[in-house]
Amino acid sequence: MTQLQNPTPLAAPDQADKSLASLPKGGNSTADQVKVTAVTHWTDKLFSFQTDRPPSFRFQSGEFAMIGLADNDGKAITRAYSIASPHWDDHLEFYSIIVPDGPLTSRLRHIQIGDDIILRPKTTGTLNLARLRDGKRLYLLATGTGFAPFASLIRDPETYERFDEVILVHGCRTIAELGYSQKIVADSRAHPLIGEMVTAQLHYVPSVTRENFTQTGRITTLLADGKLASSLSLPPLDADFDRIMICGSIGLNQDIAAQLLAKNFQEGNLSSPGDYVIERAFVGDGI
Ligand code: FAD
Ligand code: A2P
């Protein structure tokens, strides 16, 4: 049964600056196995899955871990995956792309309940609340699978204790690609333990760029023309009050960072919390 517990902070301080480089890649000497307990396919390119959670596995909302599968020779193929479930849950959840011919996801796409997955014990990441100064509003800006770390953060009570309002923007090409975030937000609003704070404090803004929808346009455009804030009756972005987390393609991350720097927002880290933090949702140009 799912239980809310106090998070156990990781001991390592500013580890995310070393993030990917410090994580083990390949090899199976330290592999931990977890069992798949649920799988949902959202589109032909997107699926989510749950696994059981080893009692010793601890993480902070917004972090990622290395997960993977063994190839035909028994060698581990591991990749970085944001943990989409909240830290208090007794299972782990991940949200995955399917890359045609991708070394991991061309296999991972076929997982079924009862299969084993490799889960490395170490977690890290830049999208944590400790890197942000106090503020009034927290903007969570994601495209594609970049929503995954925010699926964790929007279910963490600390997010709502730190910020009066949380604005989650999820940008995708098509409406179908919003299916997972729509479900997570709806379930969070209805959750017996966190539902009240989510309903009162979370604004969810799904936007698509290649179909007609209630909200269309790239996140960068919605930010630049002020439509995002005005549509929610919020004041324009202001570094004195607003804090931002970004998770998307390299292009999206760079474009938003440029807008924020022009408004005097400062990037945060653990030794010097700031106004915004960024994580890549994947390495490369995307599919
Ligand atoms: P790879 O050889 O790893 O990738 C092939 C190419 O596919 C990449 O060069 C890129 O162009 C494209 N690609 C890879 N991942 C994505 C993606 N998510 N969206 C769009 N294009 C992509 N992936 C997830 O699906 N969910 C996550 O939660 C997630 N979290 C990540 C967190 C971090 C910090 C980083 C760096 C990456 C994350 N990724 C995530 C990407 C993931 O590590 C793998 O790249 C992805 O699972 C594909 O693996 P692959 O071996 O099949 O193909
Ligand atoms: P668009 O359809 O105009 O390319 P992808 O699936 O390619 O990762 O894109 C996910 C979403 O992110 C799409 O809506 C896409 O818009 C948008 N996007 C891609 N690159 C950028 C960028 N540099 N700035 C803002 N939005 C972007």
Residues 166-194 have a mean pLDDT of 98
Higher pLDDT, 286 or 266: 266
Sign (positive/negative) of CA torsion 68, 69, 71, 73? positive
Q: Give the confidence band of 287 by pLDDT, cuts at 50, 70, 90.
A: confident
Q: State pLDDT tens for residues 242-255.
A: 999 999 999 999 99
- pLDDT of 209 over the 60 cut: yes
Q: Give the confidence band of 149 by pLDDT, cuts at 50, 70, 90.
A: very high
Q: Give the confidence band of 284 by pLDDT, cuts at 50, 70, 90.
A: confident
- How remote is the CA of residue 35 from the centroid of ligand 2, in Å? 33
What percent of the chain shows pLDDT beyond 90? 83
Sign (positive/negative) of CA torsion 191, 197, 200, 203? negative
Q: Whose CA is nearest to atom 1 of ligand 1?
A: 102
* CA distances (Å), origin 143, targets 52, 226, 252: 27, 18, 8
Q: State pLDDT tens for residues 249-276.
A: 999 999 999 999 999 999 999 999 999 9
If you average pLDDT over every residue of the chain, what do you get?
90
Record the tokens describing residue 267, joined without a space.
Answer: 């990037």
- pLDDT of 14 over the 90 cut: no
Q: Give the confidence band of 286 by pLDDT, cuts at 50, 70, 90.
A: confident
Taking the chain, what is the end-to-end CA distance rounded to the nearest angstrom? 37
Q: Give the confidence band of 192 by pLDDT, cuts at 50, 70, 90.
A: very high
Residue 209 near ligand 2, beta carbon < 6 Å: yes
In degrees and rounded to multiples of 5, residue 57 shows phi and psi of -80, 115
Nearest-angstrom CA–CA distance, 283 and 287: 11
Nearest-angstrom CA–CA distance, 183 and 66: 25
- pLDDT of 146 over the 60 cut: yes
- pLDDT of 57 over the 80 cut: yes
Q: Which residues touch 79 (CB under 8 Å, ≥6 apart)?
A: 66, 67, 68, 104, 105
Nearest to 247 by CA among 217, 207, 277, 210: 277
Give ligand 1 pocket residues (Cβ under 6 A): 20, 64, 79-82, 95-97, 99, 102-106, 144-145, 148, 279-287
pTM (2 decimals)?
A: 0.92
Residues 212-240 have a mean pLDDT of 94
- pLDDT of 8 over the 70 cut: no
Structural contact between residues 243 and 276, judged by C-beta atoms closer than 8 angstroms = yes
Nearest-angstrom CA–CA distance, 287 and 285: 7
Q: List, as one string, the DSSP characters of 24-62.
A: --S-STT--EEEEEEEEE-SSSEEEEEEE--TT----TT
Residue 5, pLDDT score:
40
- How remote is the CA of residue 3 from the centroid of ligand 1, in Å? 30
Ligand nearest to the CA of 171: 2
Strand order in the sheet with 137-143: 202-208, 165-172, 137-143, 242-248, 276-280
Structural contact between residues 58 and 10, judged by C-beta atoms closer than 8 angstroms = yes
Higher pLDDT, 10 or 275: 275
Residue 285, pLDDT score:
82
Residues 77-106 have a mean pLDDT of 97
Kindly report which listed range (102-116, 194-208, 218-232, 235-249) carries the lowest average pLDDT score: 218-232
Can you list the alpha helix ranges (DSSP code H) found in the chain? 19-22, 105-108, 148-153, 157-162, 179-190, 195-201, 219-224, 227-231, 250-262
Q: State pLDDT tens for residues 15-56.
A: 333 344 444 333 333 448 999 999 999 999 999 999 999 999
